[in-house]
Structure 1
Amino acid sequence: MWKTQYVTPPEQLVSSCRIPEFTGSTNSDHLNYTLLLIRELQRCNVDWASLHQWMEEHKANIQPND
């Protein structure tokens, strides 16, 4: 008898990327917001890299659906 076993990554590896709200009005505010967005994008990329690493480590437990 076949039993379906779901293998899911830890929740912290699949969290949404945060998009900070822009509340400024000056050129300096735009620059600071751009830098904030870049930092957030870098953090998000680290999350995705961690997810891909988890998938590689658990590949033996993940069976493709035929």
Structure 2
Amino acid sequence: MDKKVKNFIDEIIKMLFLISILSVTYVYSSLISYTSLERMTRLKLLIVMFTFTIVISTKIFMECLKKSKINKITE
């Protein structure tokens, strides 16, 4: 398998992993919604996790694009 293709697949797997973390966090927060945890605390937790996941996914994607551009230039 071409090395660029393998790197790209690895980056996609990392993004999917981060998205799965976000979904697990969402499910967990919906499960604890009827417990003593305050609504605003839950909302803040979701916003922080969502923002964190978006930032990390974007960074991984940008790194992948940067690597592919560098590889195209060096070829």
TM-score, structure 1 normalization: 0.59
**Paired residue for 1:54, among 49, 52, 63?**
63
Unaligned runs of 5+ in 1: none
Distance 1:10 1:55, change over 3 A: closer
1:19-34 correspondence runs (5 A):
19-20=24-25, 21-22=28-29, 23-25=32-34, 29-34=38-43
Higher helix share: 2
Q: CA deviation at 1:25?
A: 3.1
The CA distance in 1 between the partners of 2:61 and 2:12, in whole Å, is: 14
Q: Which has the larger radius of gyration?
A: 1
Distance 1:32 1:26, change over 3 A: same
C-alpha root-mean-square deviation of aligned residues, in Å?
A: 3.0
Unaligned runs of 5+ in 2: none
TM-score, structure 2 normalization: 0.54
